[in-house]
Amino acid sequence: MSTKCPGQDIRNLRAAMFKCQNCGAEVEMFSDELRIKCRKCGEYVYKEQTPSCIEWCASARQCLGEERWKAIKGEN
């Protein structure tokens, strides 16, 4: 069994653009980041909602196990 989450592999990182609430500048944030400092004004920009790894990680089903995965996802 692996001690490291397979979803933490840097090859699986995704980038998205977020708008700074202070100055309106666009900032790039990667999927493993919760916040980033705006290069224009220095304020922190946060993701609107921090998704659980269950929602975005392709390996979540493997990490959780089939029974727990189905319970969380509401599958019978």
- Domain assignments of the chain as residue spans, ordered by start: 13-73
Write the pLDDT tens digit of every residue in 20-33. Answer: 999 999 999 988 88
Report pLDDT digits (tens) over 3-13.
Answer: 566 666 667 78
Quote the CA–CA distance of 31 and 19 in Å, as a whole number: 16
Question: Can you give the pTM of this predicted structure?
Answer: 0.51
| Number of neighbouring beta carbons within 10 Å of residue 33 | 15
Q: β-strand 35-37 against 44-46: which pairing, if any?
A: antiparallel
How many angstroms separate the CA atoms of 69 and 60, rounded? 8
Q: Is 60:73 a contact under the CB 8 Å cutoff? A: no
Length in residues, the chain: 76
